[in-house]
Amino acid sequence: MEHIPVLLQPVLDMALGLEQPVHTYMDGTFGRGGHYQALLEQFPEMTSVVIDQDLEAVVFAEKKFGDRIEGGSLKVLHGSFHDYEGLKNSDPELKNKTFDFILIDLGVSSPQLDNPERGFSFYHNGPLDMRMNTTAGLRAQDIINTWTEDALKDLFFNYGEVHRPGRVVAEVLQKRKDTPFTTTRQLASLIEKVEGWRKKGQHPATRYFLALRIEVNKELEPLEAALEMLVQQLKNGGRLVVLTFHSLEDRIVKLKFKSMQDIGFPVNKKVIQAAWNEKKSNSRARSAKLRAFQKGEKDHE
Ligand SMILES: C[S@@+](CC[C@H](N)C(=O)[O-])C[C@H]1O[C@@H](n2cnc3c(N)ncnc32)[C@H](O)[C@@H]1O
């Protein structure tokens, strides 16, 4: 399925609400460039640095926007936006670059979810992998097959917010003695059997898979520090917009934005969510939340 950019109009509104047009843009989670492309239509003169830790997204960007790369108005980087300082230090052109607008659209893209080979989905059978960056790091199966009982319970409790993961974990430990886990369906069907379908509308493996994905991709722990580092890359008056898809992420963003009042201010006091028609037409939009932070002082009229 094609990736539909979430909360597109509110993101554009945040960019249009700046005092100056966007000249320099950073997209920390390029995906398939839906937000990038829409911003480009509004600000055709902007120069951009786009990042994705998934090589497929980087290759897509290089193919689709090759002319802009050649023309010098686009730079595509492979890596995590958490490590932007490192990426910046290895490229002299980025050394003193600051941005009017930075967007972080967290989570997975539709092409990642839909490709069974990536191992994100419990509906499709594929390797139990879940790495966005397939060139490095632990796969979900490495965690499932090697972590201790307590470590797995903590993982599902803390990141999946599963209240009683004990029975599933005990069963995993029992099963992996004979047959290590290698596929998504192996794990999903074990969870279906142990948990049953208690919560209407949600597959019983949803929260277990989310917890594994968060751990495999280190989605939460480095986020707080990354937000502060990204604000440092903004020009005075520039904005950082973050889209989150679950409560743990949103909490980190909300608290961090509140705590940085000495360098700027949260633009929207109330979190922005998708309207019912967007939620209806795009399931990814249902849990999406937008928060924006502006660097510098508030204008007092
Ligand atoms: C929700 S999609 C972004 C979609 C994009 N805004 C669009 O409209 O096409 C998230 C993308 O961010 C990437 N990603 C997630 N966390 C990342 C991180 N820490 N650093 C770089 N890329 C990341 C994923 O690989 C995925 O391609």
Within a domain: 3: no
Domain boundary residue among 192, 216, 240?
Answer: 216
Q: What angle do CA 139, 105, 223 make, to 5 degrees?
A: 65
- State which ligand 1 atom lies nearest to the alpha carbon of 5: 8
Where in the sequence is the domain holding 99, given as residue range(s)? 8-107+219-295
Q: Which residue has the higher pLDDT, 299 or 260?
A: 260
Could you tell me which residues come within 8 angstroms of residue 7 by beta carbon, excluding any fewer than 6 positions away? 243, 272, 273, 274, 278, 285, 288, 290
Could you tell me which residues come within 8 angstroms of residue 110 by beta carbon, excluding any fewer than 6 positions away? 1, 2, 3, 4, 32, 284
Domain boundary residue among 195, 216, 237?
Answer: 216
Domain boundary residue among 193, 216, 239?
Answer: 216
User: pLDDT tens digit string along 114-139?
Assistant: 889 999 998 889 999 999 999 988 99
- State which ligand 1 atom lies nearest to the alpha carbon of 4: 8
Whether residue 131 has its Cβ less than 6 Å from ligand 1 = no
Residues 22, 145, single domain; the answer is no
Residues 98, 233, single domain; the answer is yes
User: pLDDT tens digit string along 20-42?
Assistant: 999 999 999 999 999 999 999 99
- Gyration radius from the chain CA atoms: 20
Within a domain: 85: yes
pLDDT score, position 240: 98
User: pLDDT tens digit string along 139-186?
Assistant: 999 999 999 999 999 999 999 999 999 999 999 999 999 999 999 999
pLDDT above 80 for 197: no
- The CA 210 to ligand 1 mean position distance, Å, reads 16
Q: Whose CA is nearest to atom 4 of ligand 1?
A: 31
Q: Whose CA is nearest to atom 27 of ligand 1?
A: 31
pLDDT score, position 107: 84
Report H helices in the chain: 8-16, 34-42, 55-64, 66-71, 84-89, 110-114, 140-146, 149-158, 166-178, 184-195, 206-216, 223-232, 247-259, 276-281
Residues 238, 195, single domain; the answer is no
Whether residue 243 has its Cβ less than 6 Å from ligand 1 = no
pLDDT score, position 202: 81
Could you tell me the two tokens for 108? Answer: 């997975």
**Rounded distance, CA 162 to CA 140, Å?**
17
User: pLDDT tens digit string along 198-248?
Assistant: 666 788 999 999 999 999 999 999 999 999 999 999 999 999 999 999 999
- The CA 263 to ligand 1 mean position distance, Å, reads 26
User: pLDDT tens digit string along 75-121?
Assistant: 999 999 999 999 999 999 999 999 999 999 998 888 888 889 999 99
pLDDT above 80 for 301: no
Q: What angle do CA 77, 292, 31 make, to 5 degrees?
A: 30
CATH of the domain at 202: 1.10.150.170
Whether residue 81 has its Cβ less than 6 Å from ligand 1 = yes
Please check whether residue 216 is in contact with residue 184, taking contact to mean a CB–CB distance below 8 angstroms.
Answer: no
Whether residue 264 has its Cβ less than 6 Å from ligand 1 = no
Q: Which of 252, 52, 278 is closest to 293 using CA atoms? A: 252
- The CA 104 to ligand 1 mean position distance, Å, reads 8
CATH of the domain at 232: 3.40.50.150
How much is the pTM?
0.95
Residues 124, 197, single domain; the answer is yes
Residues 17, 53, single domain; the answer is yes
Whether residue 57 has its Cβ less than 6 Å from ligand 1 = yes
